[in-house]
Structure 1
Amino acid sequence: MKTVERALQEAVRRLPDCTDTPRLDAELLLAHAYGIERDELLLRPPTAPVPAGFADLLDRRCAGEPVAYIIGHRAFWNIELEVGPGALIPRPDSETLIEAACEHFARGDGPERILDLGAGPGTLLLAALDQWPRATGLGIDSSEAALAYAQRNAQRLGLAPRAQFRRGDWAKKVTERFDLLLCNPPYVAENAELGPGVKEHEPAEALFGGADGLDDYRRLAPEVGRLLAPGGLAAIEIGYDQGESAAALFAAQGLEPMLARDLGGRPRALLIKA
């Protein structure tokens, strides 16, 4: 009978051409095949035969389908989110925005009202609501598919009473002021190279921001000032090479953006204080 470790070793040999993290991908897929969490797979390896469906999962990954779509969920901050086709997969880099907000509100009670522009599957808003139990929030996205994931995630996490999601075009028709504004706009330039399977599977409207990747920042920059309550913070994700170019768009509106870096030391967010 094939052991868990042998199955993982064989999977790792198959995966390097389609992923930079073959061992991690193999562990996540095998745990999913067994119907258990990755931690359990590693700490208490099952003695039952390797599920026959594991081979199909590997085939899907080798064809470029993201692991998060295959297993149907992705961890972010302190929560687990359902994801799938039509929803942008949460990335660890986006946690930079939540970290910055935690630092900004460290000395107080935290934000009372939170706005997430481009909410996707609810990634940033739900992580923030989980972080600050007294807060309520509004998430806006143009995609019905993404909003359906967001609604289900809010329900499953017990956050639905505090989270409202609606379809919209960035901040149009939003007249309220918020203590915390979170935004991860599309910022990939049209001709930029992406990792395996990203362009083929994830929604283009959540990835690409025009020829230079800045189209949506041009639309957001004039809105941020009016959306922030006194003492509030806007945390807006950027590409690693957009620190100066994106910041200039907000500075032209009389704002004073500061740069936040991710764990790798790369520019990752613009922070704007009211």
Structure 2
Amino acid sequence: MDPDDEHPWRPVARAPLSPALATAVAELAAAGVASPRVDAELLAAHVLEIPRGRLLLAGSMRADELRRFRVLVAERARRIPLQHLLGTAAFRHLELSVGDGVFVPRPETELLAGWGIARAHAGDVVVDLCSGTGAIALSLADEVKDIDVYAVERSPVALSFLRRNAAAFPRVRVVEGDVTDPGLLAGLRAGLVLCNPPYVPDGTAVPPEVAEHDPADAVFGGADGLDVIRPVIAVAARLLRAGGYFGIEHDDAHGSAVPALLRADGRFTEVTAHDDLTGRPRFATARRT
């Protein structure tokens, strides 16, 4: 028997949590992790199988838990995404399954999802293009009653995560398809179309978590970052019924370019640019004429 295993007649060796966390924070900070304290606490909570808010009550770790924690911290210091180590990514009210080969949803995309949720109504048909893990599609299905959601994705790996995440949502239909296909979802009429496409201009420096773990075709969008956005605007215009809404996320360098493309299409009105919580241009919205 492992001497560190629990036994009803033997005290379990425990290590104080605070020094372990302090060491982890220092290691992650030295590795260039942007949020070392948050990441260390989330990894500790994951090992202890408790919410992060209960760490102060935990106080200590068993020896086997401390070993697992150290392994996870070392992997995070190698810039493996935190969400891959946890196996899930938080998005609004959801915990989504993630891993290598699928784009990890970002907090800023919650703003686009929230904009869509505010405009969706019972009976609507909603389309989520470039669905990935299903973050946007499933948030709509989770927070708006009685809507039908079509989640469109082409990557086989991303589709496997999308289907897994969507399993609990019977009114979400996973569609394998290319969002640049002019005939995508032919005959469908939607009240809302949302999209978080690949939009980073080719050659842009990105963090190791993105460069080494997010699929490149879910991140980069051509020389100017607009290779997918241009055809998606046309697809959205075709899918939307009159008066329907469209929202699309974009790079912070596209604050003028994407609204200009929407206006130039000629089938949209109420074109509006939106910033993220840091004040950077993040998504554009419009309404079908």
1:124 aligns with 2:136: yes
Partner of residue 191 from structure 2, selected from 148, 154, 179: 179
- Residue 26 of structure 1 is matched in structure 2 by 40
Give the secondary-structure state (helix, strand or coil) at the position aligned to 2:69.
helix
Q: What amino acid sits opposite 1:132 in the alignment?
A: V
Partner of residue 68 from structure 1, selected from 72, 83, 86: 83
Q: What amino acid sits opposite 1:236 in the alignment?
A: I
- Residue 218 of structure 2 is matched in structure 1 by 206
Q: CA deviation at 1:111?
A: 5.9
Q: CA deviation at 1:112?
A: 1.6
Of all paired residues, the percent bearing the same amino acid is 35
Write the distance in 2 (CA, Å) between the matches of 1:262 and 1:2.
Answer: 41
- Deviations 1:90-135, CA, capped at 9 Å, x for gaps: 1110011122123435xxx456211010000111000111011211
Residues 9-88 of structure 1: matches in 2 within 5 Å? 9-16=22-29, 17-46=31-60, 48-49=62-63, 50-88=65-103
- Residue 90 of structure 1 is matched in structure 2 by 105
- Residue 5 of structure 1 is matched in structure 2 by 18
The structure showing larger relative contact order (alpha-carbon pairs under 8 Å, at least 6 residues apart) is: 1
Which consecutive unaligned segments of at least 5 residues does structure 1 have?
none
Q: CA deviation at 1:67?
A: 0.3
Q: CA deviation at 1:227?
A: 1.1
- Deviations 1:4-63, CA, capped at 9 Å, x for gaps: 111110001101123110001101111222233323324544554443111111111111
- Residue 237 of structure 2 is matched in structure 1 by 225
Write the distance in 2 (CA, Å) between the matches of 1:264 and 1:65.
Answer: 25
Write the distance in 2 (CA, Å) between the matches of 1:45 and 1:67.
Answer: 23
Larger Rg belongs to? 2
Give the secondary-structure state (helix, strand or coil) at the position aligned to 2:252.
coil
Which consecutive unaligned segments of at least 5 residues does structure 2 have?
1-13
Q: What amino acid sits opposite 1:23 in the alignment?
A: R
The root-mean-square deviation of aligned C-alpha atoms, in Å, is 1.7
Give the secondary-structure state (helix, strand or coil) at the position aligned to 1:209.
coil
Count the aligned residue pairs.
268
- Residue 119 of structure 2 is matched in structure 1 by 104
Scaled by the length of structure 2, the TM-score of the pair is 0.87
CA 1:217–1:165 in structure 2 vs 1: closer, same or farther (change >3 Å)?
same
Q: Is the 8 A contact 2:15 2:66 kept in 1?
A: no
- Deviations 1:161-194, CA, capped at 9 Å, x for gaps: 1111121110533121111111000011111111
Q: Is the 8 A contact 1:111 1:179 kept in 2?
A: no
Q: CA deviation at 1:267?
A: 1.3
- Deviations 1:214-246, CA, capped at 9 Å, x for gaps: 111121122221111233211100111201112
Scaled by the length of structure 1, the TM-score of the pair is 0.92
Write the distance in 1 (CA, Å) between the matches of 2:241 and 2:17.
Answer: 53
- Residue 169 of structure 1 is matched in structure 2 by 178
Write the distance in 2 (CA, Å) between the matches of 1:125 and 1:22.
Answer: 30
